[in-house]
Amino acid sequence: MQCLLTSLCKVFLHKEVFFMNTKSNFGKKGWLVIIYVLFLYMFSATPPDTLNVSVEAFGHMRFGMEGQSWQQLLIYSAIGGFIGIPVALILGQIVARCKVKWPTVAVLVIYGIIWFLNGQANSVAMYAVMVVMITAVSDALNLVSTQQIMNNWFPKKKGLALGWSTMGMCFSSAIMVGVFQVLITKAGLSAPFTLMMGICFLLAIITAVFFKNYPEEAGAYPDNEPITEEEKEANLKLIRDYKSDYTFKKLLCSKELWGLTVLFGFLFIGLIGVTSQMVPRLACVGLEKTQAIMWLTISSIIGIFASFAWGWIDQKIGTKRAVEIFSICWTAMMIVALIGMATVNRPITLISVVMYSCLLGGLGNLMPSFTIQIFGRYDFPQANKLMVPLVVGIRSFALLIVPAILTTVGEQIKGYTMVFIVFSVLSLISTIIAFALKDKMIGKE
């Protein structure tokens, strides 16, 4: 803790340290990649965000469910998360062997088709199959393709670059929940799903035509830091020929991999649980649905700026200390949310929403950043293709925990109070791991 406070003092009291290494000078091609990945993050985060409006709409409009019985449909998103484990593992293996470009094109095409079919679901059985598939594919896209691209292009300025690109997840909450609500109301339940199909196909075309796996292939430099032609050729040769020593067996015996997995898996349980249930939870403390959606939008807009702030903090004081600070703040937010629900206190609940807003953009960039910090640019693909499926599996418990507790308890306010007790405990465990985990690089830089 003393080291953490000392680092913060150095950052904020010394001007020459404060402004060093935090310039977003990524170059034209680097910025295009960041914007492209921002959109990948945005639309791969849409499924859990839009659960706030889509699940209830299907339950009432398509399946004739009454009251809160539509919440049982959340179980299919949880199942999709668990199915996402082998999907992410397979995608990670393919990306490691074939690079990231063409697997991402294929996944985007499949993702678009599933979105369209999801919108056509007229039975619970078809809905279940489509939601399972869309959740599995979106998880793989969100955690495999995006992270591999950012590792390839920004191995040293990873924190800052991810701070910009992970704004996309906040844009999803800020924009897509409202878009879904308006289109469902004005154009019918299928409309937003057809829109998502078109967006996915457009991204697939952009990826196929314009994207390059590595900056060296695009005539650019990693982190936009100029190197000689000889160094560039050496990098490309190393990229093509490098064989990681990290086998699955070695990774499974690595305390670093398991520390990262549990740390971020538990944090992601809270993220998915809070985001997917923001609107019904706020309704419990007396907000109308339109007001609750407005607060979700406000929190996401704040999160856009917070995403850059956490990337900046990561780049400035180091990833480990950024994760430590984040974990403490995340635990505090969960405890405030718990108090707000236990006392049915609207102001305290809204304070927790604002706190959540300030943290929303951080988690998505700190996980890949910490993994790159420990495993390095060249061993990251091997570690990531195992770690991502494990994190996907852990975070999927969020969509089991919430409906299981709400169904068991029966009364919503007491149910959400129990949910936040669980989330607070998990956040505290993550905080302990964050302080215990070492950030020494064990892979190839």
Print pLDDT tens along the chain (445 aa).
Answer: 444 444 444 444 444 334 445 678 899 999 999 999 999 999 998 988 888 788 889 988 888 887 767 778 878 888 888 888 888 888 888 887 888 999 999 999 999 999 999 999 999 999 999 999 998 899 889 888 998 899 889 888 888 898 899 899 889 888 998 899 999 999 999 999 999 999 999 999 999 999 999 888 888 888 888 877 777 777 777 767 777 788 888 999 999 999 999 999 999 999 888 887 888 889 888 888 888 888 888 888 888 888 889 989 998 888 999 999 999 999 999 999 999 999 999 999 999 998 998 887 788 889 988 998 999 878 888 888 889 889 988 988 888 888 889 888 877 889 999 999 999 999 999 999 999 999 888 877 6
CA distance 95 to 214: 13
CA atoms within 13 A on the CB side of 295: 27
Asked whether the beta carbons of 146 and 388 are under 8 A apart, the reply is: no
Tell me if the domain spanning 29-217+249-436 has CATH number 1.10.260.30. no
Which pTM does this prediction carry? Answer: 0.81
**Which of 10, 42, 5, 75 has the alpha carbon at shortest distance from 397?**
75
Show me where the domains of the chain are located: 29-217+249-436
Alpha carbon distance 441, 445 (integer Å)? 8
Cα–Cα distance, 306 to 325 (Å, whole number): 14
* Half-sphere exposure of residue 37: CA atoms within 13 angstroms, side-chain side: 33
What is the structure's pLDDT at 286?
87
d(CA 265, CA 281): 22
Whole-number Å distance between alpha carbons of 243 and 393: 27
pLDDT at residue 243 in the model: 79
- How confident is the model at residue 22, as a pLDDT? 66
Q: Which residues lie closer than 8 Å to 213 by C-beta, 6 or more apart?
A: 99, 100, 101, 152
Cα distance between residue 279 and residue 150, in whole Å: 32
For residue 351, what pLDDT is reported?
A: 93
> Backbone dihedral region of 318: left (phi > 0), alpha (psi from -120 to 50 degrees) or beta?
left
Distance (Å, rounded) from C-alpha 232 to C-alpha 229? 5
Q: How far apart are the first and last CA of the chain?
A: 28
The Cβ-side half-sphere exposure at 386, using a 13 Å CA radius, reads 18
Closest CA to 45 of 134, 152, 178: 134
Give the number of other CB atoms < 10 A from CB of residue 64.
8
